[in-house]
Structure 1
Amino acid sequence: MAGLPPTFVKGFHDEEVVRKMNYTQLGKTDLFVSRLSIGGGTLAPYYGNDSEEEAIRAFHYALKSGVNYIDTAPYYGQGRSEKIIGKALKGIPREAYYIATKVARYNMGDTVDAQFDFSAKKTKESIDQSLSYLGLDSVDIIQIHDVEFADNLDIVVNETLPAVEEARKQGKTRYIGYSGYPLQPLKELILKAPGRFDTVLCYSRYTLLDDSLLEYVPFFLEQGLGLICAASVAMGLLTNDGPRPWHVAPDEIKKQARLCSDYCISQGVELGKLAMSYAAELKGPATFLVGMATIDIVDINLDSFWNGLTPKEKEVLDYCLKNFCVKKGQWEGLELAKLRAARK
């Protein structure tokens, strides 16, 4: 989509800058989302972004620059992300952005039971709590978070989804989505509940280390789903700073990523920009979701989408792809197995 999006607000946006952003219809919804979007996960304390003030400035800067889609969840800092975003949105015209939150995943914990609750009762309570934190009467999308952690997908279909559908009837959301890391459960769920979901979010499945999303893109699009591609930097794995200590990837994958980042550092190039630019070339996803808790990170990502890579950055990317990036960078099942073992 060329020109100005439906979310453009004269007097709030920088029109010249907004015209540089591309917008795509999110599946069959009426949302025309910016190709670059804001992920609220990095506002959780386990990412080390402690400055609430800087995060709010970054959000305002990104929104004024034409980024119009925001994603958050109760799980991100047990509401911290939603609270900060709620503060950031005060005074921002509601028509200037789309926003999504989630249900079903809530707390850091040692077991599945400590982190997840797919019950209808908790889902209803969570939606109202999220709206309170965000300071909104409704959001654009409510997503069922990390469905692979449910004991079985029937619980999602029979408990969680009806509760979200009820919230939609009450005007608390316009659309319904779901998310996860393993791709096969995402496919199975839409087959169990055809026509009942509008969007699907997958993360870290099309990166410099993993292209497994390619196999599933045609299926998701055939189902009419708006595809959201998140965490192209693999939750910090593909950045010069590297992953946080809690990252669940096995050591051999972290080693490959470290080889990339060490080489990028030696060449004066930011790996995160290369990773984002590489992922954004993928056809199919409507938007690419990335954490942007500082203005510097917003600038890096805007530059990637507006201007692409410099000749030097392209050379570094090609070198990394040829020498370090084996497309087996998955950690599927590791976190789930650990949490279920702890339960026992």
Structure 2
Amino acid sequence: MNYRVFGRCGWAVSEVGFGAWAIGGGWGKVEEKDAISALHKAIDCGVNFIDTADVYGDGRSERLIARVLRERREPVFVATKAGRRLSPHIADGYTEENLRAFVERSLKNLETETIDLLQLHCPPTEVYYRPEVFEALDKLVAEGKIRYYGVSVEKVEEGLKAIEYPGVRSVQIIFNMFRQRPAELFFSRCREKRVAIIARVPLASGLLTGKITPDTVFPPDDHRNFNRFGQAFDRGETFAGVDLEQGLRAVAELREILPAGFTMAQFALKWILMFPEVSTVIPGAKNPRQAEENALSSSLPPLEEGVMEKVRGIYERYIRSAVHHRW
């Protein structure tokens, strides 16, 4: 496993982290024993950064992580998120009182006295224009409830606004072969300000693993079934906002340029890691085999420039017009 500096926090984090949405819920049923085994395998492979949220399984994900870390001696950084428990999920709900309550609940779930990294969980755009929200987070840092804070965003513009606040140490954003816009401007701005970048949805909800076909049927409780057109939350979170049929055509061409020794998932993860501004990428894993496959992408050789150019060409032909300026 290779490690990268996590912005101004100074942490040395595994460049492949663990995204814990799937073990919480929203991706079909994941047995507890499989979730526990996946987390242990990831840590065995050198992963020391885990990303979760208080709404993943209504706290199940956080509690599973706490259970695993009780059994480990390795230092592991845990990032969680707050805000999506609001109902309705509106900007006016992002008050100090509510944020404090969310933090206290996550502290209990994670069995810790201090949260390593708290992220606002894809709040409404208006929140980024409310300095009092970030002042409330500064208070929680001063009190020792959270060590650092950042934001998880849907849009590049939200990320650019967020990093104007000096306390924002990280931005989590969708970045993958099908969502390339962040690399155009956002990455350079983060580099200038030494803001860490967490790349999420790296496999486009499994689309980039090459395992999904036109005949794949997703369970009713899988967001790839119930949120394909943004019915439950932002459409960009499901298949990275790409139309499934169009995405499958693009994946077929990506398969033709798959480097020797890579799986499709590892190809997609290594593509992201070719961008030095990315601090860590957080694929999910439902079992130990997936966790190990993801982690091994760190030690695979860099992609050749010609391959990177071909990926860009596939994006331009199949994806760009539909997604590039939406997020």
TM-score tier (shorter):
0.7 to 0.9
Q: CA deviation at 1:322?
A: 4.2
Q: Which residue of 2 aligns with 1:172?
A: 145
Q: CA deviation at 1:162?
A: 2.5
CA separation of 1:320 and 1:201: change in aligned 2, threshold 3 A: closer
Q: CA deviation at 1:127?
A: 0.4
CA separation of 1:116 and 1:129: change in aligned 2, threshold 3 A: farther
Moved more, 29-38 or 243-252: 243-252
Residues 1:85 and 2:43 aligned together: no
- Paired with 2:325 and 2:114, the residues of 1 have a C-alpha distance of 33
Contact 2:274 2:302 in 1 (8 A): no
RCO higher in 1 or 2 (8 Å CA, sep ≥ 6)? 2
Contact 1:276 1:301 in 2 (8 A): yes
Q: CA deviation at 1:50?
A: 1.6
Contact 1:237 1:257 in 2 (8 A): yes
The equivalent position to 2:109 in structure 1, one of 125, 128, 133, is 133
- Paired with 1:254 and 1:132, the residues of 2 have a C-alpha distance of 39
CA separation of 1:244 and 1:27: change in aligned 2, threshold 3 A: same
Q: Which residue of 1 aligns with 2:285?
A: 292
Q: CA deviation at 1:240?
A: 2.8
Matches within 5 A, 1:178-257: 178-191=151-164, 193=165, 195-203=166-174, 205=175, 207-214=176-183, 215-242=185-212, 244-245=224-225, 246-247=227-228, 248=235, 253-257=243-247
Unaligned runs of 5+ in 1: 1-20, 335-344
Q: Which residue of 2 aligns with 1:120?
A: 96
Q: CA deviation at 1:78?
A: 2.0
RMSD: 3.3
CA separation of 1:328 and 1:69: change in aligned 2, threshold 3 A: farther
Residues 1:326 and 2:319 aligned together: yes
Q: Which residue of 2 aligns with 1:100?
A: 79
- How many residues are treated as equivalent by the alignment? 301
Q: CA deviation at 1:30?
A: 2.4
- Paired with 1:253 and 1:295, the residues of 2 have a C-alpha distance of 30
Q: Which residue of 1 aligns with 2:218?
A: none
1:240-282 CA distances to partner (integer Å, 9 max, x unpaired)? 3448122325986322221244567899985323211211211
1:168-214 CA distances to partner (integer Å, 9 max, x unpaired)? 122122111111020111112322x2x221111112x3x22221011
Contact 2:162 2:168 in 1 (8 A): no
Q: Which residue of 1 aligns with 2:268?
A: 275
- Paired with 1:319 and 1:163, the residues of 2 have a C-alpha distance of 42
Q: CA deviation at 1:329?
A: 5.4
Contact 1:104 1:116 in 2 (8 A): no
Q: Which residue of 1 aligns with 2:232?
A: none
Q: TM-score, normalised by structure 1?
A: 0.76
Matches within 5 A, 1:298-313: 298-308=291-301
Secondary structure (helix, strand or coil) at the match of 2:99 reads: helix
CA separation of 1:234 and 1:319: change in aligned 2, threshold 3 A: closer
Q: Which residue of 2 aligns with 1:340?
A: none
Aligned-partner residue type, residue 199 of structure 1: S
Q: CA deviation at 1:333?
A: 5.9
Aligned-partner residue type, residue 70 of structure 1: I
Aligned-partner residue type, residue 104 of structure 1: G
- Paired with 2:146 and 2:52, the residues of 1 have a C-alpha distance of 14
Q: CA deviation at 1:231?
A: 1.8
- Paired with 1:227 and 1:198, the residues of 2 have a C-alpha distance of 9
Report percent identity of matched pairs.
21
- Paired with 1:210 and 1:74, the residues of 2 have a C-alpha distance of 26
- Paired with 1:177 and 1:67, the residues of 2 have a C-alpha distance of 20
Contact 2:94 2:127 in 1 (8 A): no
CA separation of 1:264 and 1:150: change in aligned 2, threshold 3 A: closer
Aligned-partner residue type, residue 181 of structure 2: S
- Paired with 2:4 and 2:140, the residues of 1 have a C-alpha distance of 26
Unaligned runs of 5+ in 2: 213-222, 229-234
Q: CA deviation at 1:49?
A: 4.2
Contact 1:264 1:270 in 2 (8 A): no
Q: CA deviation at 1:234?
A: 2.0
CA separation of 1:130 and 1:320: change in aligned 2, threshold 3 A: same
- Paired with 1:219 and 1:286, the residues of 2 have a C-alpha distance of 14
Residues 1:143 and 2:119 aligned together: yes
